[in-house]
Amino acid sequence: MKFISGRTDTNIYYYIDTVDIQWADIDYMDSYKDWTLDPNNFNDLPNLVNDLPSYGMHFIQIVDPGISHTLGYAPYDDGVKRVIFIKTHDNSSFIVGKVWPGNTVFPDFTHPDAGNYWYTHAKAFHDKVNYDGLWIDMNEPANFVKGSLTGCTTGSMDDPPFVPRELQTGIHNH
């Protein structure tokens, strides 16, 4: 936090007025969980963010749609209660993948309550850190494992009869 504050002060001192946004990558999070603050390294982030407008600056934070699969973590517990996460092909459980916070579930943004779910947690965090906008990263949704921790299904819909030419011949073999 001191580095960021010092850098902002330096930019102002040298009249570098083209800097109007301060953004934070996922390092500000506690164990890379959305809507949390690292209590050791970013505990003063709310004060820094509140000070930015005095320099004519705004604050943007990165969030990833993957939600840590951790009991007692409010976004996970709330998502389970709302049944908001993407389920397996047979609807028996939530798909669990692996992203920055470790085992991760993914909100189903086609779910009728997805907007309310996302807003609830964004608003709760905004009440702590007065951010100006969100940079939603890894919204593919990205996953560090193939399919899920249990792999992929193998039905006819999972192995379509058409394959892009690049996969048949290699992208550089034309």
What are the residue numbers of the active site?
Answer: 137, 140
pLDDT level of residue 138 (50, 70, 90 thresholds): confident
- Diameter over CA atoms, the chain: 63
| Over residues 153-174, mean pLDDT | 62
Q: What's the confidence (pLDDT) of residue 25?
A: 92
Quote the domain boundaries for residue 126: 19-151
6 is a domain residue: no
170 is a domain residue: no
133: β partners: 60
10 is a domain residue: no
**pTM to 2 decimal places:** 0.78
- Structural contact between residues 127 and 40, judged by C-beta atoms closer than 8 angstroms: no
162 is a domain residue: no
Chain segment 8-28, per-residue pLDDT in tens: 666 666 665 567 888 899 999
80 is a domain residue: yes
Measure the CA–CA gap between 87 and 143, rounded to whole angstroms. 15
Considering its fold, how many domains does the chain have in total? Answer: 1
Q: What's the confidence (pLDDT) of residue 153?
A: 74
52 is a domain residue: yes
More confident residue, 150 or 61: 61
Written as one string, the DSSP assignment of 104-133 is: EE-B-TTSTTHHHHHHHHHHHHHTTS--SE
CATH number at residue 51: 3.20.20.80
156 is a domain residue: no
Measure the CA–CA gap between 139 and 157, rounded to whole angstroms. 23
Chain segment 22-81, per-residue pLDDT in tens: 889 999 999 999 999 999 999 999 999 999 998 888 999 999 989 999 999 999 999 999
**Distance between the two ends of the chain, CA-based, in angstroms?**
51
